[in-house]
Amino acid sequence: MENFKKCSKCGRELPASEFWKNASTEDGLQTYCKECGNVYAKNRKKTPGGGD
């Protein structure tokens, strides 16, 4: 049975497989889902100093 986790950005309850790994968190998963993380990264690249 797969574990579920709530995304801190969109608030959806999703399977753990929908979260990136993050060794610095208690459960070993990022606090936001992959979809929200991808949106964040895409928007960050559009901002000045946000990466090339």
What's the pLDDT tens digit per position in 1-52? 689 999 999 999 999 999 999 999 999 999 999 999 999 999 888 877 765 5
Alpha helices in the chain (DSSP H): 34-46
Q: Quick one: pLDDT at residue 46? A: 80
The pTM is what? 0.79
Q: Quick one: pLDDT at residue 20? A: 97
Q: How far apart are CA 27 and CA 29, in angstroms?
A: 6
Q: Residue type at 38?
A: N
Q: How far apart are CA 6 and CA 30, in angstroms?
A: 11
Sign of CA dihedral 20, 24, 26, 28: positive
Q: Quick one: pLDDT at residue 29? A: 97
Q: Quick one: pLDDT at residue 44? A: 86
